[in-house]
Amino acid sequence: MNTATVSRTDSILENKSPLLKTESDSNRINMTAAPATKRRLSTEHVPDKRSKSETTTTAASTPPNKSKMMVSSERIVKASETTYRPYFTVQNANNDGSQEKELTVTLEYPGDSERFLLVWPVVKNGSHQEEEDKDEYNPITDLVRTVYFIYDCYLTPEQQKLLGDESHGILRNLNKYRNRRNGDGFVQAVQDFNKVISDLKAKGELSKNAKALKHPGYDLTCHILYQVYSRTVARQAEALNNYQAFSNNVYGEINPVLINEFISKTKINSHSVFMDMGCGIGNVVLQVAAQTGCEAYGIEIMDLPCKCAKRQLKEYAARMKAWRLPTGKIHFRHGDFLDVGTSDLYATLKRADVLLVNNYAFDWQTNHSLAQLFLDLKEGTKIISLKSFVPKSHKINQRTFHMPESILRVEEFEYFSEAVSWTNNGGTYYVATIDRSRLKPFYEGMYRRSQR
């Protein structure tokens, strides 16, 4: 058996719950009142390091460093105002029937463990009957998906046999007893899963497999970041929409599927420097860093989104440790990205390989000021934007050769539905590359004319 061979299918479970769409749904642009903003800079940073020791610490235990503790699923459900009900039934003590009961289980991760309440969010339908509220966090769905990601991404084919598959064994029992709402059977299936994972952790097998994995694929990254979001930001989603209509501070998110395309188009890797100019709650920065291991920066002027980004960063660091994955080098700044040229981030800007500017709602003046910063970027830097910084009518001539638009080589791409939070429709995005060679023919022409 080759224990270094890891299954990397990273496949999302079939029958995806709308839970994974909660972020994009709740972050739709809402044109309402705007709070005052402050133009100050502060730093929060997570170093790039991988957990070096296996741990079987339970969620109830207190690890040496409390700042590295995950926010458990159990904790956010107990703190939620959402209506949750017991999902499973269990046999009565005298075996004369069954009853609904609120159960709790602990799930083993590759590098930690987490407690889950086995309840589900409910809402009354048109017939006044309770059904699943698919817009709210479902801890059972989270648990089952986590099991499958560990199975798919962290176990070799031989190790997967210890858990069975959809037709037999522990995985079969997990799904069977969930569908039958059999609490005793489901809890036993989780315990059986934990025993297998704990044994592999004790032997150092999961540590070895995690190192071979290097960085999570797109699907696993989405799952981890959904866990982070649901435990830190979800309850404040509505407050994120309280910004002035049609201002530069209108809040909207680019969804993970489009960010994944950005990563591919611009070839971001572990040696790259990425900057998100107006990073909001930090989702893009975290996704790019997780998938590539790059050095990633986010700058945000609005107070609440920046606070959310820093909360997400703390939870992200703890979760990546639990999944035994490297975090990437991540930095969040609270401040105005137009001040970067006069701040200590200026040196970082000049060595950036990829910039993201979600300028869909920016006014002309803001876009113009941003373009002036591009004059200081290194050759080959790529700028991703939702509006082009170069008018289609732009031509390099005596009047325009000194303008930033003249050193930008622009490509236009199409994105499809559900790629951004503010509309279900598709649209276009642009990748501009710093290319000063575009000026060479103009300068050569000037030189020839001067020699006549």
What is the C-alpha to C-alpha distance for residues 450 and 422, in angstroms, rounded to an integer?
Answer: 53
Phi, psi angle pair for 310, to nearest 5°: -70, -35
380 is in an annotated binding site: no
- Compute CA 435 distance to the chain's CA centroid, rounded to the nearest angstrom: 31
Is 294 annotated as belonging to a binding site?
no
Residue 164 assigned as binding residue: no
31 is in an annotated binding site: no
Distance of CA 130 to the CA centre of its chain: 31
Cα–Cα separations (whole angstroms), residue 425 to 21, 378, 384, 422 = 15, 34, 19, 9
Q: Is 275 annotated as a binding residue?
A: yes
277 is in an annotated binding site: yes
Q: Rounded to an integer, what distance in angstroms lies between the CA atom of residue 197 and that of residue 199?
A: 5
Spatial distance between the Cα atoms of 150 and 162, rounded to a whole number of angstroms:
13
Distance CA 304, CA 312 (A): 12
- Residue 446 labelled as part of a binding site: no
Residue 283 in marked binding region? yes
* Ramachandran sector of residue 377 (left: φ over 0; alpha: ψ -120 to 50; beta: rest): beta
Query: Is 280 part of any known ligand binding site?
Result: yes
* Phi and psi torsions of 31, nearest 5°: -80, 85
Q: 186 among the known binding-site residues?
A: no
What is the C-alpha to C-alpha distance for residues 288 and 284, in angstroms, rounded to an integer?
A: 6
Question: Which amino acid does the sequence have at 160?
Answer: Q
**Which residue pairs, CB below 8 angstroms and at least 24 apart, start in 407-416?**
407/374, 407/375, 407/434, 407/435, 407/436, 407/438, 407/439, 408/374, 408/383, 408/432, 408/433, 408/434, 408/435, 409/433, 409/435, 409/438, 412/388, 413/261, 413/265, 415/258, 415/261
Q: Is residue 140 part of an annotated ligand binding site?
A: no
| Residues annotated within a binding site | 274-283, 300, 336-337
| Residues annotated within a binding site for S-adenosyl-L-methionine | 274-283, 300, 336-337
